A and B are shown apart, each in its own frame.
Chain A
Amino acid sequence: MDSGELANEADLLARSRTGETTAFDQLITLHRDRVYMVAYHILRNHEEALDVAQDTFVRAWRSLARFDGTSSLRSWLTRIATNASIDVVRRRQSHPQTEFDAVPGMAIDAASRTTPSQPAKPSESLDRAEIRTRFEQALGTLSDDHRAVIVLKEIEDLSYQEIADTVGCSLGTVMSRLFYARKKLQDQLRDLYEQL
């Protein structure tokens, strides 16, 4: 996000705080894809991820007055989305009825504006959809706790401390979960990255 976009976001945030829902609508549009992705990767269920995304923005609206701006809006929303997803995971554990999406519910659009426009990489010789499916399947084999830390570290790029604050555990636990989750992913996807 460049300085112009940040200024625009700050303006939208200020207007949202005064109760202007049209400004908040634009903030939703700016952040909805990422919020949805975080929820989807943790939950692996399209419907639940949509519910969590909706819940995230409603919670954010209610708490706008308490958002002090010490963290970015993005990481604040990520934290809310992760907590909401973890709540769903806990409810699932007490009422195990959820069916996971066998195939990811969305395909990446190579031409989408969020896809990095970079020169072709060796990995692009592999079928993108296949790689994505393999990643989704491998993430699905992780426990909910391990998947949450992998998503927050490797996709959301949060620090250990931010992850610990978000999922509510110690720094050491975060690092330990990352160790085992990474090992498991490496074991399952070895054939994939050995082609690189």
Chain B
Amino acid sequence: MNNFEERYTAWLDGALDENERERFEAGLPDCEAARAEATEWAKLRGLLRETLVPAPMPHADFLNSQVLAAIHREEPKTESAREVVGRGWFSAGRLAWAGAFLLAVAAALSFVLVPRNGGAPTESQFISQVVDARSSDPKLGAYAFAAPGGKGAVLWVTDAGYIPANERIK
């Protein structure tokens, strides 16, 4: 303690040992006045502590809910951080390789499964136009597919919930 203020504070709080207290009091110009002031401070401190005791805070339960909500808001951040770590396996390079692999598989499948050399029937515009022209129902659609080699045809009729008895396609 270097100065008067520090020593006085310690004296007031009873933080000086016996020797320090005697030396301090001996150095006071008016020890009785200082003691009277200390007594007054003790009264004021008592009143202060008696008056400013913690009172129940207003909207106390609201505080609890706010704190818990803030804590829960932080939890998803932690989880999303974990997700980011988890997503680390799906790096851009790996995704690109996976995409290329899938494209290659799709190309191979189409090569094997899709028939070539005219295997697929081609739609005959002529037959379709004939069916459309002959049908009296405008909603009725008809598509005709020519069989390979011109050996036959497939007629595909759409939107025909039923075919009325008097409906004739010639």
Which residues of A line the B interface, CB within 8 A? Answer: 21, 24-25, 28-29, 32-34, 36-37, 41, 46, 50, 53-54, 57-58, 61-62, 105-109, 112-116, 121, 123, 128, 131-132, 135, 154-155, 160, 172, 175-176, 178-180, 182, 185-186, 189-190, 192-194, 196
What are 28 of the A-B contact pairs (CB < 8 Å)?
A24-B68, A24-B71, A28-B63, A32-B57, A32-B60, A33-B57, A34-B54, A36-B57, A37-B57, A50-B58, A53-B57, A54-B70, A106-B55, A112-B55, A116-B53, A154-B45, A154-B48, A160-B15, A175-B5, A175-B9, A175-B10, A182-B9, A186-B41, A186-B44, A190-B40, A192-B47, A196-B43, A196-B47
**Whole-angstrom distance between the alpha carbons of A180 and B3 in the complex?**
13
Which residue of chain A has the shortest Cβ distance to B9 in the bound complex? A175
* B44 in contact with A189 (CB, 8 Å): yes
Q: How large is the interface on B (under 10, 10 to 19, 20 to 34, 35 or more residues)?
A: 35 or more
A-B contact count (CB 8 A): 130
* A21 in contact with B50 (CB, 8 Å): no
A92 → B minimal CB distance (Å): 21
Contacting residue for A114 out of B43, B46, B53, CB 8 A: B53
Which residue of chain A has the shortest Cβ distance to B2 in the bound complex? A172
Q: A154-B45, A155-B48, A193-B47 are in contact. Are A29 and B64 (CB under 8 A)?
A: yes
**Whole-angstrom distance between the alpha carbons of A107 and B58 in the complex?**
10
**Whole-angstrom distance between the alpha carbons of A114 and B37 in the complex?**
30
* A46 in contact with B58 (CB, 8 Å): yes
Which residue of chain B has the shortest Cβ distance to A60 in the bound complex? B67
| Cβ proximity bits B29-53 to A, threshold 8 Å, 1 near / 0 not | 0000000010011011111111111
**Whole-angstrom distance between the alpha carbons of A123 and B44 in the complex?**
11
**Whole-angstrom distance between the alpha carbons of A47 and B2 in the complex?**
40
Residues of chain A within 8 A of B37, CB atoms compared: 186
**Whole-angstrom distance between the alpha carbons of A159 and B15 in the complex?**
10
Q: A21-B68, A28-B63, A180-B5 are in contact. Are A185 and B51 (CB under 8 A)?
A: no
